[in-house]
Structure 1
Amino acid sequence: QGGGEFQFTVRVTDDGVPAQSQTVVFSINVNELNSSPLQDELPNATARLGQPFATTAVATDVDLPTQLVRYSLGPNSPAGVSIGPFTGVVTWTPTSQQIGQHSITVIAQDDGSPSRSAKRTFQIEVLSGNSAPTDILLSNTVVNENVVGPIIGQLTAVDPDSGDSHTFTVDDARFEIAGNQLKLKSGQSLDFEAEPQLSVVITATDAGGLSVTATIGIEVTNVNDPPTVQTPLVDQPATQYRPFEFTIPANTFTDEDGDALALSVKQADGSELPAWLTFDPLSGKLSGFPAVGTDGSLALQVIATDNGSPAASGVSLFELQIAANVSPWQNEVNRLNVNNDSLGDISPTDVLVVINYLNLTGAGELPPPTEPVQFFLDVNGDNQVSPIDALLVINYLNQRAGGEGEDEQQAAVTNSPTPTANPNSSSLRQNDPTIANLADLALSQSMPRRTKSDVWDRSLMDLLNDLDIPGDFEW
C-alpha cells in the first residue's frame, strides 16, 4: 500500500443508564520503506560469430508509488555487450576473439531512497560461423506393401549448430516431404514382390543455405496378397436329367506370392451348393445330376484361398445354364439307341431292353429320373414306355435288314408303330398274323406282365428271330 498519513477514530462507551460515550480522532504517519525490484530470470543462450544477438531483461518495482527502474550491466561483461537503460534489451555482436562461454549480469535498480537493485546472470555461448548439417536420420525405415500414401517416418538433421532449422527434399518422385515427415504421395504404394528394398536420397538444408545429402534404405514388408483371377470362368451348359461335370481349369487363378491355392465352390450369394451338386477340391471337379426343378440358371462362385498368413481369397463367378429336358428318358443323340452303347449301334439288344422292362414292370408313364439314365426306354418321347417304343426300333431294324431306310436319321423320325414288311423277307413275315397282333397290341399301349404261359412272349421271339436281323433273340 505504500507510506502516508492514516487517520483512525476511537469511541469509548460506558454501561450506564443512559450510556455515555466519547470519540477521539488521531492520525499516524507511515514512512515508505523502499523494496528491491523483482527481476525475471534470463535463460542461457547461444550467439553466433558475427551475427547480432538480443535478449530482454524484465524487472518490476513493487513500491507505491512505483519507482523508476533502470538497467545496467554488471562488471566483467564481454566487450561490446550493451543494454537499454529503460528497455532492458541486451544486444551483442560477438567477434572472432569472443568464441566460447561468457557470463552476463543484468542489474535492475530503482530510484528510491535509498536506491535498491536486483541482479540476474545468464550464460551465453558464442559459436563460430554457420556449420553445415552432417547427417540425416529417419525415425522408421520399414513400411508394409500395398498401403496407399503412408507416412514412413520423421526426418531429423544432425547439425553442430544448435537450434538451426532445416528443410528437406527427396529425389524419388513417389515420395514427398510433409513438414519434416517422409511419406508416399497420395495414390502411391510399394510392392514387395517388385521391390522388397529401395533407397531414397534426401537432402537437408539449414537456414544458412548449407546442406547434407544422405541415402536412406527402406525395407518393404511382404503382406499376403489375395489370389487373382487369371482366366475368368465362362458359363457352363448343362441339361436337366443328364449328368453334369466340369473341372475348374488350373489357370483360373494366380497368386502373386506363389502360395498354394485351395478351391471351394458356393452359390454366388454365399450359400452352400444345392444337394444335387458336389465339388471335389482335390480334383477341382464340379459334378452332379440336375433333376426335377433344376432347369434355369444357377449362379456360382469359385473361391481360391491361399496358404498365406493370414489367408487371403479370390473369387471367380460363373453360371450353370441348365436346359430343360421334356423327354428325359429319350436318347437325345439317337432316340433308337436305347441301351446307349458307346458305338451308337442300333441292335436287337435295344429292342430287348424295352421288352424286358415292359415284361417286368408293364407299360405306363415314366417318372422323372433321380439318377443318371442307364436305358433310354422312351423312344417316341412321350414320357411313357409302351410296345410302340420297341416297335419303332424293330421297324428300323426291319428296314435296315431289307435295304430300306439305311439312314438311321430317317428311321428316327418315323413314328409308325407298325413294322414295315420287307419284300425280301419270308412269306411268314409278310403274312403271319403275329405281326398284326403285335401291332394291335402296340396301339393299345399296354402289355401284360410276363408269365411262363404267355404265348405272346414266344410269338414275339419267333417274330424277331424270323426277321432278317443279325443276332438271336432270347429271354
Structure 2
Amino acid sequence: MSNFNIKVTARDIFGVEVSDDFALTVKNVNDAPELVEAIANRKVVINTQFNFTIPENSFIDIDAGDSLTYTATLENGEPLPSWLTFNSATQNFSGTPTMENLGNQNIKVTVKDISGDEVSDVFVLTVAKFNSTPLVDRAIADQKATAKTTFNFTIPENTFSDVDLEDTLTYTATLDNGDPLPSWLSFNANELTFSGTPTNDHVGSLNIKVTATDPALAEVSDVFALTIAKANNPPIVDRAIADQKVTAETTFNFTIPENTFSDVDIEDTLTYTATLDNGGPLPSWLSFNPNKLTFSGVPTNNNLGSLNIKVTAKDSVGAEVSDVFALTVAQGITVETESISLLTRITGDIFTIKNQVNGEKAKLSVKIKSNTSEEVNELGVFVVDDAEGKVNGVAPGAANYTELALQRATLLLSSLAKLPNGFNPTDLSRLLEFNSESNLRFYLIRSSTTQAVLSGQTPFSQVLFSSDTNVDDTGFSLNFQNLVVNIAATDQDLPVGTGLQGKYEPELIDLRDVKQLVKAEFVVHREAAFNNFVGFYQITDENGGIDTNGDGTADVLVGQASYTQAAISNRVAGIDLSVANEGTASFTGTFQPGAIFVPFIIVNAGADAILDSNPNNDPAVYFSFLGANTDQADHIRLLGNNAFGFEDLANGGDRDYNDLIVRVNLSIA
C-alpha cells in the first residue's frame, strides 16, 4: 500500500491561481482466503476429552502480508455448545461432552483476512455414547513391482471395516517405521490406490503401513511388503536355427547350437520348449529334450512333408523369444506291397474288416478327427452277427439290443472336452485286431462309460450310434453329433503293451508276452490346481492282485484295506511323473518284461506321503480298478493306445480327466 499527497492548482487568464491538496492512498489488490482441503468430520465419546486442531493445510491466503483470523460457530451462526471451546490463536477445539450432548453438530469454521474477505468450511462433530475401533478384516497381500514398469495397486474394499456404520474412515500410508513413502511411490487416500514407477535404484523390499482412522481418531494399521525386482531384459536370438532334413525310416538327431539364444541378464537361466509353429505339440515320432536342447526320433513314410518347428527360450520372469526352423521328412526306401487289411462298409454304419493275405487277424486304426463336445465321451466297437447289425439274433432297435451290444463291446478311447496346453488328441491313435471278416459297429456313450451303463448307473439313452458316415482319402469318418472319428484298416504293428486295453477297466500295460527289458518314454500334461503324482505298479493278473512276497501269486486283492499301501510299495522305481500346471514334461523309465503294470495317481502329494509312518496324513490315491478306489468312482480313462487321462477329485470330481494326461511310448530296450 502507498500514500500520495496530490495538489490541484487552478489559474485564470490574468495569472491569478488558487490551489487545494488531498491525500491519495493506493492499496494492493486483495485475494480472499481459500479452502484447500475440507475439514474431516470428527467424533467424540461422552465423558471423554475432545481435542482437535484444524490442519495447517486447510486454508491459505496467497497475499503474503495477510494474517488470517479464525472463528467457529454452529453452521447457522449460533455460538458453539457450552461444552465446546475454540481457541482462535491455535485453531484448537477442546471440551468434554456429556450424555446431554449426544448427537451431531454442524460446526462452521470461518477464516477472514485483514481486508475482511472470508471463506468457511463446515464439518460434522458427532457426540456418541461409544466408539468402535476400525478393524482389519483381510490382511493386504504382499505385492511385487518391476523396475521401469508402472506399479498400480488398489487396496481391496473389504480390507478395513468399522461397525459404527455412520463412521467414515480416512486413510494414510507410510513406511512401517512411520517414514514417508519413497518419492517414486504415491498414495491416493480417496481411491486407496498406490502408483508409481520404480527404477533399478529401488530394487529391494519395502514394508508399507496403511492406517485407517475413524472420526474419533481411533485407528488400525496393516503392513504389506512391496518387493521391487530388477528390470528384466528378454532373451534374444543370436543366430537363427538352420533348417533340417531327415529321411523316413532313419533316426533323426539334432542339437540346437549353444550360441542360438542369449540373455544379457547374467543371473537368468533360460528354459526351452519346442512346439509346432502354430503352438501345437510336436508329432508323436519326434521328441525334444529341453535340458540337452536335442531333437530325436524316427519318422515313417506316413510322416512325409515339412514341419515348421518353433523353439522358445524363456527367462526366469517369463520373458521369451522364439525361432522357427523347417524340418523336412523326405521319402525313404520303400517296398511296394499290397495292403493286408481291408475295411469296407456293408451298409449304413456297419463295416467288415478282413485280412486279404492269410485270413488271420486284420488291424483297425481309430483316431479322433474333430471334437466340439463339452462332455467327456467314451467310444467303443462291437462285433455284429451279419450285415443287418444283429447281436445274438436281435436286430437294431429292439428293446434289449443296446445291452447285448455293450456286453460284447471293446472299448476304444475317451474324448476330452477341455485340453491342457500342448496336448492334441488328434496325435493319438487306437490300433486293435479282429478276426478276419468281422462285422463291426461303433457306438458312443455320452458323458459316461460302458461299465456305468451296464451297471445301471447311466441310462441306455446315453448310448449313441453313428448318425452319419463319410469316406475320404484317410478312411471312413463316423459322426457322433459333436465328435467325428476316423476309422481305417492298417498294417501297422500294434503298440507294445496294449493287449488288455479294451476291457471295462482298460488302463493297463500288458507286457506278459515280452521277453526283454522295455524302455518307456513318457509325455505328461497337466491342467489342475493340485500338484499330482503318477506312477505305475505291478500286478499278478488282469484282476489287479498284488504279489508282496515274490512267490508269483496275489497276496493283496482289489478292495482290501491294504491295497493302496501294497500298490505304492510295489511301484516301479524311477517312474515318478509330475509337471507344473499348464505345462508339459518328458520322462524316461523302464518296465520289466513278463508282467502287467497299472497307473495310479496320488492327489497333491508324492509316494512318501503314503509310505511314511503316519497313516493320518495319507492323501487320496486312485487306480484303474474301481474296486480299489475309496469312492468306487472312475478316475482314469483310456485316451488312445498307452495314453491315460486322470481325474483328481473325489467321487469323480468334475469328470474332465485332464488333470494329468500321460502318454507312453514303449519300445524293446
Normalising by structure 1, report the TM-score: 0.29
Of Structure 1 and Structure 2, the greater helix share is in 1
Structure with bigger gyration radius: 1
Of Structure 1 and Structure 2, the greater strand share is in 2
Normalising by structure 2, report the TM-score: 0.22
